[in-house]
Amino acid sequence: MNNMTCRDGATLVTDYLEGALPDDLRVAIDAHLAGCPRCVAFVRAYRETPRIVRESTAIEIPEGLAASLQKFLAERRRG
């Protein structure tokens, strides 16, 4: 695939990051990334997403705040 587009690369990003693509596709994506800052940012964000989710969910809400938030949300659902 010589004319890799942003859309082509986006559909293959998971396999690309897992090293599961044939050499010709990997080379085509690498070539595209060499000239496309937007796709470089996309791949970087895709790669970082699991870490961001882990870090953001690792924080525990204090007991009182959690109860207060649950009460607030329950009242919003009813009203």
Residue spans of the domains in the chain: they are: 6-78
Is 6-78 in CATH node 1.10.10?
Answer: yes
pLDDT in tens, 13-65: 999 999 999 999 999 999 999 999 999 999 999 999 999 998 888 888 888 99
pTM given for the model: 0.64
pLDDT at 1: 56
pLDDT-based confidence at 12, cuts 50/70/90?
A: very high
The Cα 79–Cα 67 span in angstroms is 18
Question: Residue 25's closest CA among 44, 12, 34?
Answer: 12
pLDDT at 3 over 90: no
